[in-house]
Amino acid sequence: MFAVFLDRDGVINVDTEYLCDIDKLVFESRVIEALSHISKELPAETCKVIVVTNQSGVARGLFTLEQCERFAQQFLEAVATASNDEARIDDYLFCPHHPTEGAAPYRIECECRKPKPGLLTRAQSAHHLDLTASFMIGDQDRDIRAGQAVGCYTILIQPDVTTMTEISTSADAISTNLFDAVTLIIQEVHRRT
């Protein structure tokens, strides 16, 4: 069993900073098509699709843990509705902490805030995953580093290839959007089998 790990903001939805209001959710281009494609091509019996996201808005007092959990459920429902139940996300894990901002109990140096790989290892335990056979898709250096820490194949989402950053040199691959990244993953999985 392997996973496709997805960062949330900037990969699945437009990054509006500290998103916790479902009415402000806007999906990135071709995301629903990408999630439907991966659901069709890589069945849940062999591949889990898992969101792993830093949500320091909890630590910063911008929203509560309960609001963040409620948003996660609404987010999953929004994906299902937008795709007519053709897309799936098998799990949604978030880190509510920040090492220097906010207040206790969430102002801590934790193991789950990316670039640390705690969210990925938590998913590994819950779903019996082979992390070295898994994929991490993100739009930030911290996403790529979290995936690399556990041996995932990493894909950087960088919509504007004319402004590529140093991050791109450390990722295994670069895509301009989630659909292209998913297509690459499906090809890689077929190559491996």
List, for residues 102-152, the tens digit of each pLDDT value. Answer: 988 999 999 999 999 999 999 999 999 999 999 999 999 999 999 999 999
Integer Cα distance of 78 and 100 in angstroms: 32
The H or E element that residue 38 is part of is: helix 31-41
The H or E element that residue 123 is part of is: helix 118-127
Can you give the pLDDT at residue 193? Answer: 84
CATH class of the 2-192 domain in this structure: alpha beta
The model's pTM: 0.95
Of 104, 100, 8, the C-alpha closest to 51 is: 8
Give 28's DSSP letter.
P
Can you give the pLDDT at residue 159? Answer: 81
Q: What is the mean pLDDT of residues 28-43?
A: 96
Tokens representing 138 are 């993100």
| Active-site residue set | 7, 9
Looking at the predicted structure, is the pLDDT value of residue 38 above 90?
yes
Integer Cα distance of 163 and 159 in angstroms: 9
Looking at the predicted structure, is the pLDDT value of residue 167 above 60?
no
- Residues 6 or more apart from 53 whose CB is under 8 A from it? 7, 8, 9, 92, 93, 94, 95, 119
Can you give the pLDDT at residue 39? Answer: 95
Tokens representing 93 are 């894990």
Q: What is the mean pLDDT of residues 154-183?
A: 82
* Main-chain phi, psi angles of 78, to 5 degrees: -65, -40
